[in-house]
Chain A
């Protein structure tokens, strides 16, 4: 076998070994970012990985920004917010918080919910996942319900044993009341009053 044939076989073997890996990688999800935003996303991904946080949340926010044709500055701001909110959620909810709770906690913090609301929910969770109350909290604040009213009401309902389904019905109902002219805080309080009636006696919050 002459040298030319050997080189050809070596090149073919190298290509055969690397091609599947290259194909599996697919197009670069960050290809549409400018160099500084891309560097920031990669750095935050690395930091998240090093801290045991879900790095894909950072990447996902960057992909979302690209898909929505957001300006680079907005993407950079959003991925930084996501990373910091996950870090804060982990610090507040503890190392035992699972990924679902962590995502919900990060969403709540991004909506402006104070960390005390997260720790209060965690303390009264009786071991149950607090993902749904946190997601509902984030929604209510997004709809204009004052943070303290939303935090206090959801905590009361949660402490009284309201289920995930009860809480998940709240955003739509509150949203309808707001559109009908109710103040967001009043809308939540009115709707929240209908939930304890379905709870067992003794579980009704004061």
Chain B
């Protein structure tokens, strides 16, 4: 079990890294996925359903909120199936260190019997290397609902990620520890080891297991691929044989700027703390983006251009303009626009939170983007924006003569 002292340190370090939120620059992203999902679990009847999954995300400077629900058409009626809502507060990255507080509530639905809810809170401390890789430590607690036989679940873990070419590789180790009400004897009548006896037939038992997971996210042009695999450590009483190993994969193929084909499948391990069995699943559907919809980044902590507190442009001589971006705790800031023939130009750091570039920008209407630490190209804050035709937005400058 994870020591409370260590988790307290992680939470305290996370809180210490938080700075007041600056400026307001955010975007709202909404999507709708429609398709078929099919799943099978050992001992259960295979089930298939038509699902509708709306997905809304508020992507703010420090705060991200996301909500997703899935309605399944079983027979003639829609019913709420999987759903989750989460909030993530991310600190600026200072001296390569960043922190996140994550709170979430989710509902998992397999069938009428296997369904329940859980609330969870986690704190993470990140060590980030120029947005090309990083490490994190995390600690948290989860509380399943409607699972009477389990206590709160202590969660502790660590992970690493790296960007290699166009792919993001992530590996993590997560330990789960909880107390549950178990049978005092197994099927052969052998007495089980218990923390304490509740009555003759049942006892409280300490359970723990650890998941090692690896995933890869790759996107190029109109294709996004995700694949993950995992292995579970733990003794036989906590880990069923069908949940030792698992793997799954999914693909998103954009056939228009706001519509994509989604296909996926694989195996999900059981969740002993929630009493949910392992299952195989497959899904096929179409996703519609109701708003310019960048996919959620694969990078666990991302310095974003929306964290720029201010963008200024001023004359710097007869033919040059001085572009200034105010953002602290990042490694690189780049700008590109029609005036650079859309070639990225690295800005020069002039102060703790000041980045600058001198560029020739003639009079007229110009379009531009900025990006931070190799993240997404976004319009600089405070400029009028328009859609760029490539599922994103550009800032617009009107330079007077």
Q: Do B364 and A100 touch (CB < 8 A)?
A: yes
Q: Could you give, for residues 26-45 of chain A, a 1 whenever the CB lies within 8 Å of some chain B CB and a 0 otherwise?
A: 00010000000000000000
Q: Using known A-B contacts A74-B257, A107-B396, A131-B398, determine if residue A142 contacts B390 with beta carbons closer than 8 Å.
A: no
- Is residue A159 contacting chain B, with contact meaning CB distance below 8 A? no
- Is residue B344 contacting chain A, with contact meaning CB distance below 8 A? yes
Q: Do B389 and A171 touch (CB < 8 A)?
A: no
How many chain B residues sit at the interface, stated as a range, is: 20 to 34
Q: Which of A16-24, A65-73, A193-201 contacts B (4 or more CB under 8 A)?
A: A65-73
- Is residue B365 contacting chain A, with contact meaning CB distance below 8 A? yes
Please, which residue of chain B has its CB at the minimum distance from the CB of A26?
A: B341
Q: Find chain A residues with CB under 8 A from B160 CB.
A: none
Docked complex Cα distance between A64 and B367 (Å) = 10
Q: Which of A64-108 contact B (CB under 8 A)?
A: 64-71, 73-75, 77-78, 81-82, 99-100, 103-104, 107
Q: Find chain B residues with CB under 8 A from A47 CB.
A: none
Q: Could you give, for residues 382-401 of chain B, a 1 whenever the CB lies within 8 Å of some chain A CB and a 0 otherwise?
A: 10111111111110101000
B334 to chain A, nearest CB (A): 11
Instruction: Count chain A residues whose beta carbon lies closer than 8 angstroms to a beta carbon of B.
Output: 43
Q: Do A139 and B384 touch (CB < 8 A)?
A: yes
- Is residue A132 contacting chain B, with contact meaning CB distance below 8 A? yes
Q: Find chain A residues with CB under 8 A from B385 CB.
A: 139, 142-143, 171
B343 to chain A, nearest CB (A): 7
- Is residue B363 contacting chain A, with contact meaning CB distance below 8 A? yes
- Is residue A190 contacting chain B, with contact meaning CB distance below 8 A? no
B303 to chain A, nearest CB (A): 19
Docked complex Cα distance between A178 and B254 (Å) = 28
Q: Using known A-B contacts A135-B396, A171-B384, determine if residue A100 contacts B377 with beta carbons closer than 8 Å.
A: no
Q: Do A110 and B387 touch (CB < 8 A)?
A: yes
Q: Find chain A residues with CB under 8 A from B367 CB.
A: 60, 64
Interface secondary structure of B, over-half rule: loop
Q: Do A103 and B386 touch (CB < 8 A)?
A: no
Interface secondary structure of A, over-half rule: helix
Q: Chain A CB within 10 Å — which of B26, B384, B386, B390 has the most?
A: B384
Q: Find chain B residues with CB under 8 A from A179 CB.
A: 24, 26, 28
B394 to chain A, nearest CB (A): 8
Please, which residue of chain B has its CB at the minimum distance from the CB of A59?
A: B341
B341 to chain A, nearest CB (A): 5
Docked complex Cα distance between A103 and B386 (Å) = 12
Contact of B390 among A29, A78, A107, A136 (CB under 8 A): A78
- Is residue B5 contacting chain A, with contact meaning CB distance below 8 A? no
- Is residue B78 contacting chain A, with contact meaning CB distance below 8 A? no
Q: Do A135 and B365 touch (CB < 8 A)?
A: yes
Docked complex Cα distance between A111 and B384 (Å) = 12
What are 26 A-B contacts with C-beta separation under 8 Å?
Answer: A29-B341, A60-B342, A64-B388, A67-B336, A67-B344, A68-B377, A68-B388, A68-B390, A68-B392, A70-B221, A70-B389, A74-B257, A74-B390, A74-B391, A99-B364, A100-B364, A100-B398, A103-B365, A111-B387, A131-B365, A131-B398, A135-B398, A136-B384, A139-B396, A168-B398, A175-B24
